[in-house]
Amino acid sequence: MSPPLLGVEEEVQSSVSSPSVECISENGMGLKERNYLGLSDCSSVDSSGVSSNLNLATELRLGLPGSQSPERETEFCLLNLGKLDEKPLFPLLPSKDGICSSSQKNVVTGNKRGFSDTMDGFSEVKGYVYTEKSWMFHEAGSDSESPQSVGHGKYPGNSGVNVILSTRSPGVQASVKQDEPANVLQEQPRATNGTSLKQTVISNNTTGAPAAKAQVVGWPPIRPFRTKTLAASSKNNDEVDGKPGPGAVFVKVSMDGAPYLRKVDLRTYSTYQELSSALEKMFSCFTLGQCGSHGTAGKEILSESRLKDLLHGSEYVVTYKDKDGDWMLVGDVPWEMFIETCKRLKIMKSSDAIGLGNYLVSRTLPKNLLEQWRNPRPTTKKNLDMGANFLMPNPNQTDNSEVKSVGCVVESERSYHVSSHL
């Protein structure tokens, strides 16, 4: 079981990485160390003395106070360093399903997504994860930074975001009273060796950035009023920022082969990525027919034939007409400048768009698309390959070497998919 899974780990390192995995299999993996939960170094199994005393498990009772996110992803991570040797901690594994779900029944109350939901849809959870990370923009307030692509920095949550399930130490302090009410309190733990805090970590999405760290009820000690207000303000400000002034900028959007045009207000987006996804949503009905392999449930997003299609340019590109009347490839200039100069949008087949930009000719894939392939979203139908249709060059995108790695990615993705069925 291990090799393919660990192999997966390698490939999806920016997404599925967990301190515990790193702890165990640090050497061959090339995984990054993360200072998860502020434990000093969990880079080795025999973790530093400081953390050896800490069985971190703060019971999660409720999610983030004031969190408004309606679709909270829930992931579980239990760090139990003291027990590393006895009970192997593995990253998210289907085979651990049974163990996890039973232990997890004890855990979360108040979590809006009932825990069993997440456990049942194992890949669902992951899908959630990946959705957040690779795909969609986040209004983390710093849209001016490079659009999503590889999860550096932008998704601080990476280390924690991915689910690590291990067997729970017994007697975790109970906040879930549904199943074992009275007895639970009695099981309240506190190992007698020094500070023993057990932390159950659930990552949660707040206003935008995926949450990385443990979320404990009432921590950090911030009034919910403040959190809510900040969240609301952030949302509003994202609409405000980047606008030199008020007023919508509506431009027509046409697509080859589509019977009618649409109009979009460019001011409602703040990055190319947002625009891209919005366009995909708008025009998805026209593209579904094109790409044969979707329509089936997400697992086969990356069949080989699909990949070939993409590579050979049966994709679409987004172009725009600027003030001077020239047709340009979208994505070259900074967003603000683009809004000011764009008069009209057109989605054309990349085969028609040859000559508009080098990248098509060289068949490289923009970083964001690569990222999407590395982090498939196996479930939600909405995500069926939309992004793949619209290639927008990432202004920061560089070289041609992407192609090769794409091939590798697909390979391991497949094994990943296979294993997730186990």
Partner 1 sequence: MNMNYFPDEVVEHVFDFITSHKDRNSVSLVCKSWYKIERYSRQRVFIGNCYSITPQRLIARFPGLKSLTLKGKPHFADFNLVPHDWGGFVYPWIKALAKSRIGLEELRLKRMVVSDDSLELLSKSFPNFKSLVLVSCEGFTTDGVAAIAANCRFLRELDLQENEVEDHRGHWLSCFPESCTSLVSLNFACLKGEINLASLERLVARSPNLKSLRLNRVVPLDTLQKLLMRAPQLVDLGIGSYVDDPSSEVFSKLKAVIQLCNSIRSLSGFLEVAPCCMSAIYPICENLTFLNLSYAPGLQGNDLTKLVQHCRKLQRLWILDCIGDKGLGVVASTCKELQELRVFPSDPFDAENAAVTEEGLVLISAGCPKLNSLLYFCHQMTNAALITVAKNCTNFIRFRLCILDPVKADPVTNQPLDEGFGAIVRSNKSLKRLSLSGLLTDQVFLYIGMYAKKLEMLSIAFAGDSNKGMLYVLNGCKKLRKLEIRDCPFGDVALLQDMGKYETMRSLWMSSCEVTLGACKTLAKKMPSLNVEIINESEKLESEQLELSFDDRLLVDKMYLYRTLVGDRKDAPEYVWLL
Q: What is the footprint of partner 1 within residues 185-244 (CB under 8 A)?
A: 185-186, 188, 190, 194-197, 199, 204, 206-207, 209, 211-227, 229-230, 232-234, 236-237, 240-241, 243-244
For partner 1, the closer of residues 60 and 165 by Cβ is 60
Supply angle C-alpha 43, 45, 47, rounded to 5: 70
Query: Measured from the CB of residue 88, what is the shortest distance to partner 1 in angstroms?
Result: 24
Query: Measured from the CB of residue 353, what is the shortest distance to partner 1 in angstroms?
Result: 36
Alpha-carbon distance values, 34 to 19, 37, 62, 219, 292 (Å): 6, 9, 25, 21, 41
- Encoding tokens for residue 415? 């094994």
**Among residues 52, 175, 290, 419, the one that binds partner 1 under rule CB under 8 A:** 175
**Among residues 1, 30, 46, 48, the one that binds partner 1 under rule CB under 8 A:** 48
**Among residues 30, 38, 88, 407, the one that binds partner 1 under rule CB under 8 A:** 38
- Strands 262-265 and 200-201 come out as unpaired
Phi and psi based region of residue 160 (left: phi greater than 0; alpha: psi -120 to 50; beta: remaining): alpha
Q: Among candidates 23, 65, 19, which has minimal Cα distance to 219?
A: 65
Q: Is 37 in the site for partner 1 (CB under 8 A)?
A: yes
For partner 1, the closer of residues 225 and 327 by Cβ is 225
Binding to partner 1 (CB under 8 A) within 271-330 occurs at: none
For partner 1, the closer of residues 88 and 220 by Cβ is 220
- Distance in angstroms (rounded) separating the CA atoms of residues 54 and 199: 9
For partner 1, the closer of residues 207 and 273 by Cβ is 207
Query: Measured from the CB of residue 191, what is the shortest distance to partner 1 in angstroms?
Result: 9
Query: Measured from the CB of residue 167, what is the shortest distance to partner 1 in angstroms?
Result: 22
- Give the rounded distance of the alpha carbon of 330 from its chain centre: 24
Contact mark string toward partner 1, 54..73, x via CB under 8 A = x-x-xx-xx-xx--------
- Encoding tokens for residue 399? 């070289």
For partner 1, the closer of residues 123 and 159 by Cβ is 159
- Strands 390-391 and 164-165 come out as unpaired
Angle formed by the axes of helices 402-419 and 2-11, nearest 10°: 140
Binding to partner 1 (CB under 8 A) within 146-165 occurs at: 153, 156-157
For partner 1, the closer of residues 88 and 110 by Cβ is 110
Q: Is 182 in the site for partner 1 (CB under 8 A)?
A: yes
For partner 1, the closer of residues 104 and 420 by Cβ is 104
Please tell me whether the peptide bond between 220 and the residue prior to it is cis, using omega within 30 degrees of 0.
Answer: yes
Q: How far apart are the first and last CA of the chain?
A: 10
For partner 1, the closer of residues 42 and 342 by Cβ is 42
Binding to partner 1 (CB under 8 A) within 108-147 occurs at: 109, 140-142
Sequence-distant (6+) residues with CB within 8 A of 376 are 127, 130, 298, 301, 302, 413, 416, 417
